[in-house]
Amino acid sequence: GDRKAYQMDFRNPDEAVREALLDEAEGADVLMVKPGLAYLDVIARLKQNTKLPIAVYNVSGEYSMVKAAAEKGWIDEQKVVMETMYAFARAGASIITTYHIRDIVENKWI
């Protein structure tokens, strides 16, 4: 669908930081960034500019791309998933929501 009415311009990380700081000033408890992979820079900038927890949502499209590539044998699913999770944490996310959680836990990847 058309998300222009509520989605920020991906070319303007300053807008994302400004809006997040306004959310904080209005009483937000957590700042959410989604999709996660394309916005690691925004996560890092938010971490530098707020004391609030940063949550990242590893969206279904990101999950589906990894699953499809793994099924084709193009990637090592465990390595890609764990590299992604650590990238979110390195960028500054303290909360990670992901569809990969079942695989991570059941396969004891961590």
Considering only CA atoms, which of 43, 51, 50, 28 is closest in space to residue 88? 43
Predicted local distance difference test score (pLDDT) of residue 9: 79
The pLDDT value recorded for residue 2 is: 62
| 1 pLDDT above the threshold of 80 | no
Question: Could you report the per-residue pLDDT of 22-76, keeping only the tens digit for each?
Answer: 999 999 999 999 999 999 999 999 999 999 999 999 999 999 999 999 999 999 9
Specify the amino acid at residue 70.
Answer: A
To the nearest whole number, what is the mean pLDDT of the chain?
A: 93
Quote the distance between the C-alpha of residue 56 and its chain's center.
4
pTM metric for this prediction: 0.88
Whole-number Å distance between alpha carbons of 81 and 89: 13
